Amino acid sequence: MEQSPPTRTPQKAAEIPASAAAKHDELLRINAAFACYAFLGLSVTAFGIVGAFLKGQEQAGYGMLLFLTLPLPMLAAFVATIVLTVKSRHYRPLLHLFLINILFITATVLVMWRQSPEGASETPVDAVILSYGAFFTLTTVWWFTAGKRRVCKAQI
């Protein structure tokens, strides 16, 4: 009579080693999330530059060009960052980046709300918008130059 091999009890989810394909898919999700943050950062920087450094007809023309072309792709990128961050929620820097994103959006809305309509300087709004764009652009530059290598080495 043949005996079947002994059955093993299932391991906890944390103890099961992730396959190479799962690690690769996770890295692709994180890369896509950082790429969406890069797009958001560059787009917001473009809006900030137009608002801060251009005046008169130039500001109106470039502002209209940006306003007609970027809002829908920016909304799609923002939704994609939410979805990808939730799917990669165990990667803490991505969660922190999302929370900082919410903080910057809140700060921008509050600064714009506190502005008086008659003759108020737009310098605080421009400063918040440009710092938002610079932060997210530089963060994604860090990810694609140094951060990804560190994560890949830890996975190998």
The domain segmentation of the chain, as residue ranges, is 21-155
pLDDT band at 19 (very low <50, low <70, confident <90, very high): confident
Secondary structure of the chain: what % helix, strand, coil (to 5)? 80, 0, 20
In the chain, count H helices and then E strands.
6, 0
- In the block, tokens 């470039």 appear at 62
Which is higher by pLDDT, 18 or 66? 66
Residue 56 pLDDT exceeds 70: yes
DSSP secondary structure letters along 12-54: PTTTSPPPHHHHHHHHHHHHHHHHHHHHHHHHHHHHHHHHHH-
| Per-residue pLDDT, 8 | 55
Residue 152 pLDDT exceeds 80: no
Which is higher by pLDDT, 77 or 125? 77
Cα distance between residue 92 and residue 123, in whole Å: 33
Closest C-alpha among 107, 90, 99, 104 to residue 135: 104
pLDDT tens-digit readout, 88-136: 888 888 888 889 989 988 888 887 777 656 655 677 878 888 998 999 9
Distances (CA, A) of 124 to 62, 77, 104: 21, 25, 13
Residue 14 pLDDT exceeds 50: no
Cα distance between residue 30 and residue 60, in whole Å: 37
- In the block, tokens 């473009």 appear at 46
pLDDT band at 78 (very low <50, low <70, confident <90, very high): very high
Distance linking the first and last C-alpha atoms of the chain: 44
